[in-house]
């Protein structure tokens, strides 16, 4: 079993099961979890993170529904195999999710889209510049 990182914040407004879904999906999209990797049982995950196994089960069911994992009766759940085009789509979906709040801010600031894209490109070109 891969030890995978999951940081849950019970005091965020995000539902806990949704946080689990998002973090597993992100790790699959980023390649830190790959096809066939085993996930902990709902009980083990629950004990590790202080979450009710029922909540973990709900997250796993959602991950299965969207094709990220495969649940197997009596066996550990595993990360599902994905076709290359699916992987690409997942990466895009993750990006969209992370960038969506920025879009709202750009609109609120009344910044032209071209200007916003230029700023993003600038940040991407100088990723390690601290403190701005």
Partner 1 sequence: MNDHLPDSLVSIRQLTLTRGDKAVLDGLDWTVPRGTATGLLGRNGSGKTSLMHTLLGLIVSEEGTCTTLGQDARSLDDDANERLGFVDQHYQLIDWMRVDQHVHYVERMRARWDTDLQGRLLDAFDLRESAGLRVGALSPGARQRLSVLLALCHRPDLIVLDEPVSAQDPIFRKVVLDALRARVIEDGATLILSSHVLRDVESIVDRVAVLDGGRITIDAELDAMKESYQQWIVVGAATSSEEIAQLPFVISSERIGGALSLHVRAGEAERRELESRFSVSVEVKSLDLERLFPVLLGVSPKAVTA
The binding site for partner 1 (CB under 8 A) comprises 10-18, 43, 46-47, 50-55, 58, 101, 104-105, 107-108
**C-alpha pair distances (Å), 21 with each of 111, 122, 127, 129:** 33, 31, 27, 31
State the minimum distance, in angstroms, from the CB of residue 18 to partner 1. Answer: 7
The CB-of-85 to partner 1 minimum distance in angstroms stands at 25
Query: Cα-Cα-Cα-Cα dihedral of 54, 55, 61, 66, to 10°?
Result: 180
Minimum CB–partner distance for residue 27 and partner 1 (Å): 21
Q: Which C-beta is closer to partner 1: that of 32 or that of 93?
A: 93
Distance of CA 49 to the CA centre of its chain: 17
Residue 11 or 83 having the CB closest to partner 1: 11
Measured from the CB atom, is 13 or 84 closer to partner 1?
13
Q: For residue 28, how many other CB atoms are within 10 A of its CB?
A: 24
Q: Judging by beta carbons within 10 Å of its beta carbon (0-12, 13-18, 19+), is residue 23 exposed, middle or buried? A: middle
When the beta carbons of 27 and 55 are compared against partner 1, the nearer one is: 55
CB 97 → partner 1: shortest distance, Å?
12
Under 8 Å between Cβ of 91 and 29: yes
């Amino acid at each position: 079993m891969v030890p995978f990182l999951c940081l849950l914040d019970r005091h965020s407004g995000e539902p806990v099961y949704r946080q689990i879904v998002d973090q597993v999906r992100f790790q699959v999209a980023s390649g830190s979890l790959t096809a066939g990797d085993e996930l902990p049982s709902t009980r083990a995950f629950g004990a590790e993170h202080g979450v009710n196994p029922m909540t973990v089960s709900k997250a796993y069911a959602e991950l299965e529904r969207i094709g990220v994992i495969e649940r197997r009766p009596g066996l550990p759940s595993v990360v599902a195999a994905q076709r290359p085009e699916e992987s690409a789509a997942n990466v895009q979906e993750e990006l969209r999710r992370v960038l969506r709040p920025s879009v709202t801010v750009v609109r609120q600031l009344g910044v032209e889209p071209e200007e916003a894209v230029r700023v993003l490109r600038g940040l991407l070109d100088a990723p390690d510049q601290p403190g701005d």
